[in-house]
């Protein structure tokens, strides 16, 4: 394709455009594309960060498949992801339906539920750690005491780790989902409901046949971004459940998940090649989820 | 057909007795239905209240069972304890949050680090991304579709995938433990560019064409026309960026070595790993409160933009 404009003219015409694109593209290539390719390469090597990386084929991935800690981390992540996304989405929707008005009580309730989304996440985690303090000085155990129970070692009981992580995630995230749902509800034309009322549709039928279907794009967004976020959980495990400087994942690894394990292998044990393989497993999971998101999004548009 | 329903609606809506009592009953019903959510609201307040009272309890009160729900002898010692001295160990007195760090300015240092890093990344990334978005949305150059597609595709990459190579890059550049390591890799944000391109596409080309006819250069058009037009989009994006960077933890955790270079999350995490006892919780919570105040105030001021920005990103995305 020969361009009608001579080279010098094209340079003059497009030079500025490329110059304006350059800062973004240079940073994008330097700190995203190149590292991404590099992490793929590193995932096929043995690399301790000091000595040069040694190519060892698919060894890391073979090892991952039989790594009991990694399988444990995957299982924990799956439980956590399902629990937090299902509960979080249902509560977000419930809150939006309950408080979508413009009156001040509704606005106050919305602000209240949204508060964790704008609070420092580390502060929230430290707060939870203090609420769940093992002895009777903690808030949770004080309440247990009121109810006549024995103090619970919240953070040292393996069976409670995932439920607590789910609880913290839902508590912190439902306000954000609520805001999305409130916006979604606001975009449903009032006439639909009026028409349904005239036809004598009950509140439940209106919800079932108008509200829910029209909220589907919002639900897809809330669920998929929730899934993607949940797969990347780190702070909650690192701050609330790590015991001492060198163990991560809580008692008996009961809270070990993908990103904490990546950190553990990469920056505590300096197995950077192995950690890169974990990073690529995470990438593949999130890539598939994103594709599903696109697919569902496109399908919705065609409907 | 268009007129007919009118006669039928009127009687239905004005049925003499039923509606008045019915609506009162349905109002009560609506509140009953909300009851679980009011209880849920209590669980939202309780942990925050717990944090808030802890901050003002003296060490002795913190370690007592059962705990008090109103500080009995409120104190600011968890921020600054006038009776604490580094030389003598005096029981019942602990260092306040401002006395705990062996760096110049103490806790202020981390606040200033966080403010500087967050501001630099927000301003820098908005400038860089808006420049690129202007070209992609309004310039007819070769390869712009490919570039845009590549950038959109990159949004599917979890940033943790690039964590290790980026750490190695920082080390090789000698940037570990520097502001550059915080700021430079965080400037090219694909989702910001994507959002700005979408926003620009809804703005008519004529505005820009008119400026070109008047002889304005591309840089001038970007600065004087595109940026002002983008203001609402930039406001929405800055909220996302500020929140994310203020709370950024995993990346700083691996690039920061000295105490001086920590941002607030890293400083608090270190505090958390050094001190465990209940009498230290007052100072730890004081740090948490100080870490949260700026973003909460920011939110209360720009509340409208917050929720609008989230709604925009969710519905469009």
Range from A288-297, B227-236, B259-268, B288-297 carrying the lowest mean pLDDT? A288-297
**Region for residue A71 given its phi and psi (left: phi exceeds 0; alpha: psi -120 to 50; beta: otherwise):** alpha
**pLDDT at residue A136, rounded to an integer:** 87
Q: Measure the CA–CA gap between A219 and A177, rounded to whole angstroms.
A: 9
- DSSP characters for A239-274? III--TTT--SSGGGTT--HHHHHHIIIIIS--HHH
**pLDDT at residue B95, rounded to an integer:** 83
Convert the pLDDT of each residue in B261-301 to its tens digit: 999 999 999 998 888 788 889 999 999 999 999 999 988 88
**pLDDT at residue B84, rounded to an integer:** 80
Q: Is pLDDT at B224 greater than 60 in this prediction? A: yes
Stretch B20-43: mean pLDDT, rounded?
A: 78
Q: Measure the CA–CA gap between B203 and A68, rounded to whole angstroms.
A: 54
Stretch A132-140: mean pLDDT, rounded?
A: 91
Beta-bridge partner residues of B165: none
Which residue in A20, A24, A44 sits closest to B150, CA to CA?
A24
End-to-end CA distance of chain B: 39
**pLDDT at residue B6, rounded to an integer:** 34
**pLDDT at residue B5, rounded to an integer:** 36
Q: Of A195-199, A289-293, B132-136, B138-142, where does the model show the most confidence?
A: B132-136
Q: Token pair of A234, please? A: 């780190």
Convert the pLDDT of each residue in A201-231 to its tens digit: 888 999 999 999 999 889 988 999 999 999 9
Nearest 5°: CA angle at B285, between B280 and B291?
135
Range from A111-125, B63-77, B88-102 carrying the lowest mean pLDDT? B88-102
Stretch A248-256: mean pLDDT, rounded?
A: 88
**Region for residue B205 given its phi and psi (left: phi exceeds 0; alpha: psi -120 to 50; beta: otherwise):** alpha
Interhelix angle A158-186/A216-231, rounded to 10 degrees, is: 150
For CA atoms A250, A251, A252, A254, give the dihedral sign: negative
Contact B247, A122 (CB under 8 A): yes
Q: What is the pTM of this model?
A: 0.90
- Chain A contact set for B134 (CB, 8 A): 20
Convert the pLDDT of each residue in A153-178 to its tens digit: 999 999 999 999 999 999 999 999 99
Distances in Å between the Cα of B249 and the Cα atoms of A2, A250, B268 are 51, 19, 10
Q: Token pair of A56, please? A: 């060892």
Stretch A111-120: mean pLDDT, rounded?
A: 94
Convert the pLDDT of each residue in B73-89 to its tens digit: 898 989 988 888 777 66
Q: Is pLDDT at B54 greater than 50 in this prediction? A: yes
Which residue in A231, A240, A235 sits closest to A283, CA to CA?
A231
Confidence of residue B23 (pLDDT cuts 50, 70, 90): low
Q: Token pair of A92, please? A: 């977000």
Helix (H/G/I), strand (E/B), else coil: B218: helix
Stretch B102-125: mean pLDDT, rounded?
A: 95
Cβ–Cβ gap A135/B169 under 8 Å: no
Higher pLDDT, B51 or B307: B51
Confidence of residue B32 (pLDDT cuts 50, 70, 90): confident
Range from A75-79, A107-111, B90-94, B216-220 carrying the lowest mean pLDDT? B90-94
Residues within 8 A of B (CB atoms), A 261-290 only: 262-263, 266-267, 272, 275-276, 279-280, 282-283, 286-287, 290
Distance from CA of A181 to the nearest CA of B (A): 8
Which residue in B125, B55, B253 sits closest to A122, CA to CA?
B253
Range from A5-14, B37-46, B201-210, B305-314 carrying the lowest mean pLDDT? A5-14
Task: Give the CA count within 13 Å in the CB-facing half-sphere of B287.
Answer: 31
- Chain B contact set for A231 (CB, 8 A): 158
Range from A78-92, A252-266, B12-26 carrying the lowest mean pLDDT? B12-26
**pLDDT at residue A249, rounded to an integer:** 84
Q: Is pLDDT at B116 greater than 60 in this prediction? A: yes
Q: Measure the CA–CA gap between A274 and A254, rounded to whole angstroms.
A: 21
Question: Which residue among A34, A145, A245 sits closest to B273, beta carbon to beta carbon?
Answer: A245
Residue in chain B nearest A228 by alpha carbon: B158
Cβ–Cβ gap B188/A27 under 8 Å: yes
Q: What ipTM was predicted for this assembly?
A: 0.90
């Amino acid at each position: 394709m020969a361009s009608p404009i001579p080279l010098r003219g094209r340079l003059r015409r497009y030079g500025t455009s490329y110059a304006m694109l350059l800062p973004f593209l240079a940073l994008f290539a330097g700190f995203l594309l190149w590292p991404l390719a590099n992490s793929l390469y590193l995932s096929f090597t043995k690399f301790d960060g000091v000595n040069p990386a040694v190519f060892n084929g698919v060894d890391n991935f073979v090892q991952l498949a039989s790594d009991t800690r990694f399988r444990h981390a995957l299982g924990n992540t799956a439980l956590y992801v399902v629990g937090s996304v299902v509960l979080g989405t249902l509560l977000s929707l419930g809150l939006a339906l309950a408080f979508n008005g413009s009156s001040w009580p509704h606005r106050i309730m919305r602000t209240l539920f949204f508060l964790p989304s704008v609070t420092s996440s580390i502060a929230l985690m430290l707060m939870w750690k203090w609420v769940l303090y093992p002895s009777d000085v903690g808030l949770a155990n004080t309440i247990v005491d009121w109810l006549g129970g024995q103090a619970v070692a919240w953070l040292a009981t393996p069976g409670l780790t995932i439920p607590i992580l789910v609880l913290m995630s839902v508590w912190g995230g439902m306000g954000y989902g609520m805001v999305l749902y409130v916006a979604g509800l606001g975009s449903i034309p009032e006439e639909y409901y009026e028409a349904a009322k005239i036809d004598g549709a009950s509140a439940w039928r209106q919800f079932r046949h108008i509200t829910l279907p029209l909220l589907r794009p919002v639900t897809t967004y809330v669920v998929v971004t929730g899934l993607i976020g949940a797969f990347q959980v780190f702070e909650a495990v690192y701050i609330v459940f790590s015991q001492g400087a060198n163990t991560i994942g809580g008692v008996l690894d009961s809270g070990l998940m993908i990103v904490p394990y990546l950190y553990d292998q990469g920056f505590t044990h300096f197995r950077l090649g192995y950690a890169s393989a974990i990073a690529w497993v995470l990438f593949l999971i999130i890539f598939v989820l994103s594709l599903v998101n696109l697919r569902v999004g496109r399908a919705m548009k065609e409907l | 057909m268009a007129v007919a329903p009118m006669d039928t609606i009127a009687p239905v809506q004005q049925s003499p007795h039923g509606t008045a009592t019915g609506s009162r009953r349905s109002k009560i019903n609506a509140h009953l239905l909300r009851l679980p959510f009011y209880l849920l609201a209590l669980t939202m307040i309780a942990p925050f209240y717990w944090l808030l009272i802890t901050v003002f309890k003296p060490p002795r009160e913190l370690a007592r069972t059962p705990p008090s729900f109103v500080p009995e002898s409120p104190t600011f010692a968890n921020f600054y304890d006038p009776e604490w001295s580094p030389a003598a160990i005096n029981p019942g007195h602990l260092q306040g949050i401002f006395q705990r760090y062996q760096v110049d300015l103490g806790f202020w240092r981390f606040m200033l680090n966080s403010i500087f890093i967050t501001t630099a990344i927000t301003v820098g990334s908005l400038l860089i991304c808006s420049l690129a978005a202007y070209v992609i949305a309004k310039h007819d150059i070769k390869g712009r579709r490919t570039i845009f597609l590549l950038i959109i595709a990159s949004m599917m990459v979890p940033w943790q995938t690039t964590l290790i190579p980026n750490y190695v890059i920082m080390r090789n550049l000698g940037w570990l433990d520097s502001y550059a390591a915080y700021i430079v890799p965080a400037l090219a944000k694909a989702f910001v560019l994507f959002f700005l391109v979408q926003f620009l596409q809804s703005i008519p080309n004529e505005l820009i064409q008119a400026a070109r006819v008047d002889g304005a250069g591309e840089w001038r058009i970007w600065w004087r026309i595109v940026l002002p037009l983008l203001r609402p989009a930039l406001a929405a994006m800055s909220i996302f960026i500020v929140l994310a960077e203020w709370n950024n933890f995993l990346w700083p955790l691996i690039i920061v070595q000295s105490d001086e270079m920590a941002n607030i999350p890293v400083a608090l995490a270190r505090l958390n790993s050094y001190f465990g006892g209940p009498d230290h919780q007052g100072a730890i919570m004081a740090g948490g409160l100080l870490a949260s105040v700026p973003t909460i105030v920011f939110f209360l001021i720009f509340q409208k933009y917050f929720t609008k920005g989230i709604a925009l990103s969710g519905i469009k995305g």
